[in-house]
Homo-oligomer: A and B are copies of this chain.
Amino acid sequence: MSGEIHSDWRQKIIEGARDLGLPVNFSSAVIDHDASDMVGVNILGAEDKDFWRDRKGAGINAIRTSTHLKDADVVVVRFGPKYKQWNAAFDAGFAAALGKPIITLHDEEHNHALKEVDAAAKATCRTPEQVVDILKYLLS
């Protein structure tokens, strides 16, 4: 699961799957925003420039993300109403090139901006419940 970290869509999918007893393992990036952004300098030492502070953090987070993407059977990518969320689109492109099936999750207002990503996806959902329904169907 990749994308927006400012709503509880991950939790809804996980709980929905758990309530149905679906045998799914979920993985995602660290979604504690501060822990994620600062992990590089927290562990590896401070940087004067924000650019390199971000680089250190992004490097460590990329270990997690790329491993999860390579191990995943299905990749769910969420685009929310705020921020650029370029990393979510980057993850989707990475997953597409790996041949991983992608499910996108976003509101109609982003249809046009996400048309290339949706075209590479197997399904476009509007709600976390729809994602759970698809998982339920796939595992039936």
* A residues with CB within 8 A of B: 30, 35, 39-40, 43-45, 48-52, 54-67, 70, 73-74, 79, 83-99, 101, 103, 108, 110-126, 130, 133-134, 137-138, 140
Q: For the complex formed by this chain, how many copies does it contain in all?
A: 8
Chain B residues with CB under 8 Å of A137's CB are 30, 35, 39, 43, 60
User: In chain B, what residue has the closest Cβ to A55?
Assistant: B119
Interface centre among A90, A94, A96 (most CB of B within 10 A): A90
Instruction: Name A60's contact: one of B48, B98, B122 (CB within 8 Å).
Output: B122
Closest 6 A/B residue pairs (Cβ): A93-B93, A97-B97, A89-B89, A58-B119, A54-B115, A90-B93
Chain B residues with CB under 8 Å of A92's CB are 90, 93
In the bound assembly, the distance between CA atoms of A90 and B55 in angstroms comes to 19
In the bound assembly, the distance between CA atoms of A103 and B44 in angstroms comes to 12
A111 touching B44 in the complex, CB below 8 Å, given contacts A96-B90, A123-B59: no
Check if A50 sits within 8 Å of B90, measured CB to CB.
no
Instruction: Name A64's contact: one of B57, B64, B138 (CB within 8 Å).
Output: B138
Chain B residues with CB under 8 Å of A85's CB are 84, 86
Min C-beta distance of A55 to chain B, whole Å = 6
